[in-house]
Amino acid sequence: MVLFGKCDKSRHAYTLASTYHDSQLKLYTTHLTEPEGQGRRPEYIMTQLNTWGMTGNLETFQQGACAYQNARDWAKEKRDKFIRTANERHSKAQSQLLDSTSQSQTASEAAPTVDNSDASSLSDKVEYSNVQ
């Protein structure tokens, strides 16, 4: 899986797929491989988990239906975890941004302000010129 521009090198499957055709339920996983060289893209590997004949008998139907439901539940758990992690990262980044913004405002408020007028330098020059 590619998260924030980084390739997940764990080879864990984070994607499930299913097909149902001609009374056959098939479940697959997909994972990434590392790129084979610099500048190359990773490849996706699809692996079949199992096949169930859904109209053959009650036992294989129940096994297939159970596997399908378990796959959906697992995918929801993973999806919710990824969303929670992304939201936590976003909240942390937002709070850091707000902290740095408030700190820079506090620092600028505490800093002395410089008067842009040249009155003090002009008066010195005037006094100096009068002395001569």
Mean pLDDT of the chain: 80
Task: Please name which of 30, 57, 59, 25 lies closest in space to residue 43, comparing C-alpha atoms.
Answer: 30
Q: Is the pLDDT of residue 131 over 70?
A: no
Average pLDDT over residues 49-55: 97
- Which residue type, as a one-letter code, is found at position 99? D
Does the pLDDT value for residue 101 go beyond 80?
Answer: no
Tell me which of 15 and 128 has the higher pLDDT. 15
pLDDT at 33: 87
Percent of the chain beyond pLDDT 90? 51
